[in-house]
Amino acid sequence: MTEQEQRIQVVALAKSMFDRGYATGGAGNLSVKIDDNRLLTTPTGASFGRLEPDNLSVVSMSGEHLAGNRPSKEVAFHLELYRNRPDCNAVVHLHSTYLTALSCLKGLDSENVMRAFTPYYVMRVGQLPLIPYYNPGDKQIAVSVGELAKNNSAFLLANHGPIVSGKDLLDAVDNAEELEETAKLFFILSGQNIAYISDENIDILKRKKP
């Protein structure tokens, strides 16, 4: 895929998420690797519903702003995922309703905030560790993501929202949408006697990642 094709894809997928309520206002950001040295990312404060291909930011893997509008300050944790997870080629960060609501709950398991009850949750993200609360833009968010990235492809920022990676941008968006739907089910099933997936089946499912 050429860089221009990637720009068009970023705009189209971001608009699709905005139209379906996964992103509101200027919240959230996404990025995709152009090559081993550069990534394409949404500009600071940009609405997913009003992006323009030519205005997207280009950032080096060292964090230098190379072209386009000014990138989000949160690109720092995108870079940590790329540096620490070789199979990561795209990152989606949302303030989606159900995952953000989940991130505001007390007493979550920091290693995995949702015990598996659907197979696609396991196949898409495996598990969802919680990163403690830091103010948006705090450098410690990137540090924490980098520390967990080797063994995790998705994260939940406390009182903030999800970070989800993928082998390409379409995969990352699909992973993010599956994760949001799982969080929705989590709240629908609250207080019910849930049939969780066994550890044995989880191990099998993890080997069947799409």
CA angle 99, 104, 108 (to 5 degrees): 90
**Residue of 22, 74, 80, 178 marked active site:** 74
* Active-site residue, 120 included: yes
d(CA 93, CA 41): 11
Strands 65-67, 90-93: parallel, antiparallel or unpaired by DSSP?
A: unpaired
* Active-site residue, 181 included: no
Cβ-based neighbours of 41, under 8 Å, separated by 6 or more: 29, 30, 31, 32, 56, 57, 58, 59, 71, 72, 75, 78
**Residue of 3, 52, 64, 120 marked active site:** 120
Q: What residue type is 19 in one-letter code?
A: D
Sheet containing 57-60: which strands, arranged edge to edge?
65-67, 57-60, 38-41, 29-33, 90-93, 161-166, 154-157, 130-131
- Torsion angle defined by CA atoms of residues 57, 86, 171 and 40, in that order, rounded to the nearest 10 degrees: 10
Count the Cβ atoms, other than its own, within 10 Å of residue 146.
17
Catalytic positions: 74, 120
